[in-house]
Amino acid sequence: MKESVRFVVNGDPVEVLVEPGATLLECLRQDLGLTGSKQGCDKGDCGACTVLLDGRAVLACLVLARSVEGRRVTTVEGLAEAGRLHPLQEAFDTQGAAQCGFCTPGMLMSACALIEENDQPSRQDVREALSGNLCRCTGYTKILDAVVKAAGEVHQARAAPKGGGKP
């Protein structure tokens, strides 16, 4: 029997009817049509399904949809604001960090959680923060480049006086 769950996804309040055994990943992809979050293993091993739950990176394939009642979920679809790419997205694109792009949404969300906390990460910090996201295409080099670059931009924007710089 389906039950209702209400939460906020990418800023929008939603109410969805789900099976109690549905995961957040199923709910996002199938019920809400937010297919940006990917499924690579469905059991916690790959990180492709990473989303932010109240700002923290979690694996949507291991989260019960019912358990996000009242909480805030951010997916890759929520990263760009008003059609403007997030600095991470821009950097992934210009640095060639997305090859097949299947790990990319999860990578972006893990990187986003990192940058929210620390916008001056070392390369090692980035490696740590992305260590739960497997990529089979890139060898990670360009992903690390992109995150370091984006963090630098976010840091500058934050340091800049109000009104100046990019968001």
Ligand X SMILES: Cc1cc2nc3c(=O)[nH]c(=O)nc-3n(C[C@H](O)[C@H](O)[C@H](O)COP(=O)(O)OP(=O)(O)OC[C@H]3O[C@@H](n4cnc5c(N)ncnc54)[C@H](O)[C@@H]3O)c2cc1C
Looking at residues 35 to 74 of the shown chain, list those that interact with ligand X (rule: CB under 6 A).
44-45
Candidates 12-20, 83-91, 117-125, 135-143 — which segment interacts with ligand FES by CB under 6 A? 135-143
Comparison of 45 and 93: residue with beta carbon closer to ligand X: 45
Binds 120, which of other proteins, ligand X, ligand FES, none (CB < 5 to 8 A, cut-off by type)?
Answer: none
Find residue 101's DSSP bridge partners. Answer: none
Among 61, 115, 129, 147, binds ligand FES (CB under 6 A): 61
Q: Which of the ranges 34-42, 81-89, 120-128, 151-159 carries the binding residues for ligand FES, by CB under 6 A?
A: 34-42
The minimum distance between CB 12 and ligand FES, in angstroms, equals 23
77 residue type, one letter: E
Say whether residue 101 binds other proteins (CB under 8 A).
Answer: yes
CB of 85 to ligand X, least distance (A): 31
Q: Least Å distance between CB 153 and ligand FES? A: 22
Can you tell me whether residue 29 is helix, strand or coil?
Answer: helix
Closest to ligand FES by CB, 89 vs 138, is 138
Element (H, E) at 3: strand 3-9
**What is the C-alpha separation between 39 and 26, in angstroms, rounded?**
9
Tell me how crowded residue 21 is: count the other CB atoms within 10 A of its CB: 9
Q: Report helix, strand or coil for 40.
A: coil
Asked if 148 interacts with other proteins (CB under 8 A), we say no
Q: Which of 76, 16, 70, 20 is nearest to 50 (CA)?
A: 76
Which two structure tokens, joined as six digits, stand for 104? 């990319």
Whether 60 contacts 52, CB under 8 Å? no
